[in-house]
Structure 1
Amino acid sequence: MVRNNKRKTDRKGITISAAQKALSYIKSGKSIRKAAEAFKIPFESLWRAIKKKEGQISKNVYPKTCSSRQIFNDSEELMLVDYLLVTSHIGFPVNCRTLRSMAYQQALRNEKSFPTSWTEHELAGKDWVAGFLKRHHSVSIRTPEATSMARATAFNKTNVKVFYSKLQDLYARNNLTPDRIFNLDETGLTTSQKPQKVIAESVTKQVAQLVSHECGQTVTMYGFVNAIGNALPPCMVFPQKNFKNYMIHGAPPGTLGIAYPSGWMTAATFLECLKHFVRFVHCSKDNIVLLLLDNHESHVSLEAIDFCRENGIVLLSFPPHCTHKLQTLDKTVFGPFKRLYHRAANDWMYNNPGKRMSIYDVAGLVRKAYPKSFTSSNIVSGFHCTGISPFDFRRIFFSVIRQRST
């Protein structure tokens, strides 16, 4: 198959005026070939136009004058598609080179006729892969997400069923409405931005872009969202011993700033975040809220649990290594937020040439990215696609069954 075909002749198609003149000429008793020669029209184009007019062939069907040869028949290609889908579902997707090797081996084993270039490299051609993907839209070239063995094995029917049964029990016991269902999670914000795609000289093999640091400092940010699409002001943990108010200069209004030497979340800093959460939610024992979170060690301290009991916060943790499938913020919010954050950091580097980004610039970058990513539509779709609100256990459970069965 040739993807970029180059015309080798100057033969052109048929125009409407030329076709009308040729048809009149044919009606006078001349043959189609004579009319084609008289008006310098390709014979096959004139023949096709006449047959269309007479209704003998469909308007969308043309005689194949030049077509690429398909190595495998339709049933054989469908079997290959099914194999590719199965391997992608179980976490071992096939790359293009492996697919080309498989196609060559299959063609060789079944004694298919294929181009000689396949034998030279013992691989199917890139043109064959392009044609294969064009014929089968259920598969395409994707960039996979690195998934550890722990995540792959922990996301199973047993863990998912236990989590959703507890969630359903809490809904019924506390009569929870969507405005009282919250999710919180943390993400790291670095002072070394991720470069964006740029326009540069096409013949240059490597294009360089300046970043602030090779390994920048990290500021931890906590996000809070609820099932009706609201987002609370974030909490930011700076890698400093003492907190100063200028650290959150330019941050979203209401942001809580905390300092800890490592910049990571600990039991003490998490307790401060819970107090920040209560100030905005106004929960109590008479107004209980549900807080969904992962089972990080900083979230399960005795002080945090006692504080939640006193203030009407019911904690429910996700199963270990399952947050990539079950957590709202991971599914639909943090991805757009990180992209917008790095875009804002990239703009900062352009507007401040010769300067290095510090942790005191992170708050201003968060203010640019936060309102555009923590939107109501992103948050609501996250709760919906995970089946948390509205409650839909089948949405995730059946996807696990399909994944394991394949």
Structure 2
Amino acid sequence: MPRNYVRKSSRQSWDPASMLKVIEAVNNGEMGWLKASKTYHIPQATLRRHALQKNKTLKKGEKRLGRFKTTFPVEVERQLVEHLKLLESRFFGLTRQDVLELAYNLAVKNGFEHQFNIQKKAAGKDWLRGFRKRNRDITLRKPEATSAARAQAFNKPQVAQFFKVFDQIMQKENIDPMKIYNADESALSTVQRPQKIFATAGRKQEGAITSAERGSHVTIVCCMCTAGNFIPPALIFPRKNMKKELADHAPAGTLCIAQESGWMTGPVFLQWLQHFQKYVNKTSPTEKVLLIVDGHASHKYLDALVYAKENGIVLLCLPPHCTHRMQPLDVAFFGPLKTYYDQAITRWLKAHPRRVVTQFQIGGLLNEAYGKAATVQNATHGFAKTDIYPINPDVFPDYMFQASETTNIVVDGSVQQATNGLTDNNAQPGPSSENASAIDPPVQKAANVLTDDNGQPGPSSKNTSVIKLPLIIPTATQENLQNSTRGVSILVTPADLSPVPIGSFVSGQGKRKPRKRQGTSVLNSTPNLEEAKEKNKPKLIIREKRKRVVSRKVLAEPDESDTEKEAFSADEDEDDCACIYCTEVYKFSKQGELWLRCCSCQKWAHADCAGVDKKTKSFVCELCTD
């Protein structure tokens, strides 16, 4: 059990700052010992001892009651605090138990007197409580789970490249700053996340009613602009056929789409773009708007890119794995929306006992939550916090980029980091070596750390676009490790016992060709459109073949002149049979389609076209039955 120590003595109730002032006044001859003691309510013996520096373990002005003293000097504790902050900024923060074990090892390695648990090899809870009281600039918090890809991708070169392309597009296309839009998808579930409730004290577990254990998800597509306006949302239901009842009580103008998986696909994105074009306020057909999206595959659908190009919609892609910091909807809108949505489900369940939320109630629940979240303040705050409008490339503090330093690769004494998809429209490296100082000023500014023996810059200016300098980690040196307070030489630092993770080069890696990543670029620019058409050429050929196969369906008896053509067609499809109902060739069938063979005529047909159960073992087609 932790101790609840209560101070019972009034000794040493004087202020250390007042002690220093009194000592200075006495040394200057302004007052004597007795007058100073009565004026500032400090015992005369204590005042003389501090003034004459007769304390063996305390500095002038410090106070300590009894035999209790801190295990580590003030300088060592501050070094430990700074090391904890550094690890936390790298997303490798230490837990409570890690700090206790680190404190024990730090005391043992440096020979400090301690009262830690030798069996557990860890400091005690009392030490941790005092350590936190003495250092109020650190606290114990629950971290947010962040993927390694996001930690690596969000770095200064990525952010600088995005704002460079963004500024070029705004000037080149002469886009009105009030016509910048951001679109993104998220999921709405029929099962809400319970909020905190008041409950009986002492109970170990509380419950809250939900619709189901897991529920189903519906994709919502939202879009807002810098002026504070919102495009009516779109709902993608995981169903094959759409029902009008699903759109009941939904926000006005909501686009409801049925898609088997319930996800955003290329054709669905094209349909949403048409919905977006309908509600965008344009004064002229030639006026262009900027639509910021992420790098999802559906946003690179060829027909959607062509439609956006023809209608003056410029699609700007965010850097990969940076949407949690740079997407306005993720930063300022989806959080409040889902909070209000969960509250609406809770109220609905209370008003409709013994009923559960299904897809038919999502429209009404969304209408209640969307009206509260879709405000002008949330929209403008989202664009301002991500620095898109008003534009400010330097708004992100340095500690946000420190997590990417962990993935630096040390090669031949220099620190390098991949460009993470910094490519232009021609799939070439975006920032050139000559423009490195303009693209990444912080990296260029920090280049003075790498210097030679003569104090000259180490790396040349040509490499500043790829060099990422690691943070300065406290190291043990003879000059800064002498503790004048206790006369103890610190041999081991917290950084030595718990080093900061840094990427290292491993031989054998990098032999496989890396996957090409889409960096910050305009998706529907001319080079990207040409590249998308090249990728879609095989698909277009297959579509044309399917059209020809369907058109070959014979509606009348052939004459003798067509005998040779029929023989050629039969030879062509001899090893690739067609369905007797829809005439679709087997090689063009979709994945997962089941084929059945007639037991009488030995011809093939789709199970869906025949209208029979897929588990049928003996199938006879309608032609043989007649």
- TM-score tier by shorter-chain length is 0.7 to 0.9
Once the two structures are superposed, the pairs formed by residues 136-285 of structure 1 within 5 Å of their partners are: 136-283=135-282, 285=285
Return the offset for 1:105: 1.6
Q: Aligned-pair RMSD on alpha carbons? A: 2.9
- Is residue 89 of structure 2 the alignment partner of residue 94 of structure 1? no
CA–CA distance in structure 2, aligned partners of residues 68 and 310 of structure 1: 78
Once the two structures are superposed, the pairs formed by residues 5-404 of structure 1 within 5 Å of their partners are: 5=5, 54-56=39-41, 69-116=69-116, 118-283=117-282, 285-396=285-396, 402-403=402-403, 404=405
SS in 1 for 2:185: strand
For this pair of structures, how many residues does the alignment match? Answer: 363
Return the offset for 1:241: 1.8
CA–CA distance in structure 1, aligned partners of residues 384 and 3 of structure 2: 42
With over 3 angstroms needed to count, the CA separation of the structure-2 counterparts of 1:64 and 1:191, relative to structure 1, is same
Structure 1 residue ranges without an equivalent (≥5): 12-49
CA–CA distance in structure 2, aligned partners of residues 224 and 236 of structure 1: 12
CA–CA distance in structure 2, aligned partners of residues 85 and 303 of structure 1: 49
Identity within the alignment, %: 37
CA–CA distance in structure 1, aligned partners of residues 304 and 138 of structure 2: 47
CA–CA distance in structure 2, aligned partners of residues 83 and 255 of structure 1: 51
Larger of the two Rg values belongs to structure: 2
Does the 8 Å CA contact 1:196/1:346 hold for their aligned counterparts?
no
Return the offset for 1:305: 0.7
1:305-330 superposed Cα distances (whole Å, 9 cap, x missing partner): 11111211100011111111211111
CA–CA distance in structure 2, aligned partners of residues 66 and 181 of structure 1: 67
CA–CA distance in structure 1, aligned partners of residues 162 and 3 of structure 2: 50
Return the offset for 1:152: 1.9
Return the offset for 1:52: 10
Worse overlay, 242-251 or 76-85: 242-251
Does the 8 Å CA contact 1:227/1:379 hold for their aligned counterparts?
yes
Return the offset for 1:106: 1.3
With over 3 angstroms needed to count, the CA separation of the structure-2 counterparts of 1:362 and 1:125, relative to structure 1, is farther
With over 3 angstroms needed to count, the CA separation of the structure-2 counterparts of 1:392 and 1:243, relative to structure 1, is same
CA–CA distance in structure 1, aligned partners of residues 172 and 247 of structure 2: 40
CA–CA distance in structure 2, aligned partners of residues 121 and 176 of structure 1: 65
Structure 2 residue ranges without an equivalent (≥5): 11-34, 43-60, 406-469, 472-626
With over 3 angstroms needed to count, the CA separation of the structure-2 counterparts of 1:379 and 1:97, relative to structure 1, is farther
TM superposition score normalised by structure 1:
0.80
Does the 8 Å CA contact 1:219/1:263 hold for their aligned counterparts?
yes
Does the 8 Å CA contact 1:157/1:397 hold for their aligned counterparts?
no
Does the 8 Å CA contact 2:89/2:400 hold for their aligned counterparts?
no
SS in 1 for 2:257: strand
User: Which amino acid is 2:222 matched to?
Assistant: G
CA–CA distance in structure 2, aligned partners of residues 244 and 296 of structure 1: 28
SS in 1 for 2:395: helix
CA–CA distance in structure 1, aligned partners of residues 349 and 63 of structure 2: 58
SS in 1 for 2:333: helix
Worse overlay, 145-154 or 394-403: 394-403
Q: Which has the higher helix share?
A: 1
Does the 8 Å CA contact 2:154/2:322 hold for their aligned counterparts?
yes
With over 3 angstroms needed to count, the CA separation of the structure-2 counterparts of 1:129 and 1:7, relative to structure 1, is closer
CA–CA distance in structure 2, aligned partners of residues 53 and 98 of structure 1: 49
Return the offset for 1:67: 10
With over 3 angstroms needed to count, the CA separation of the structure-2 counterparts of 1:367 and 1:399, relative to structure 1, is same
1:9-41 superposed Cα distances (whole Å, 9 cap, x missing partner): 9x9xxxxxxxxxxxxxxxxxxxxxxxxxxxxxx
With over 3 angstroms needed to count, the CA separation of the structure-2 counterparts of 1:364 and 1:89, relative to structure 1, is same
SS in 2 for 1:121: coil
Return the offset for 1:195: 1.6
SS in 2 for 1:186: strand
Return the offset for 1:168: 0.8
CA–CA distance in structure 2, aligned partners of residues 285 and 373 of structure 1: 31
Return the offset for 1:170: 0.8
SS in 1 for 2:394: helix
With over 3 angstroms needed to count, the CA separation of the structure-2 counterparts of 1:376 and 1:207, relative to structure 1, is same
1:229-270 superposed Cα distances (whole Å, 9 cap, x missing partner): 222221111112222232122222222211112211111221
With over 3 angstroms needed to count, the CA separation of the structure-2 counterparts of 1:230 and 1:123, relative to structure 1, is farther
TM superposition score normalised by structure 2:
0.54
Return the offset for 1:397: 8.3
CA–CA distance in structure 1, aligned partners of residues 36 and 353 of structure 2: 68
CA–CA distance in structure 2, aligned partners of residues 69 and 263 of structure 1: 63
With over 3 angstroms needed to count, the CA separation of the structure-2 counterparts of 1:121 and 1:51, relative to structure 1, is farther
CA–CA distance in structure 1, aligned partners of residues 66 and 338 of structure 2: 49
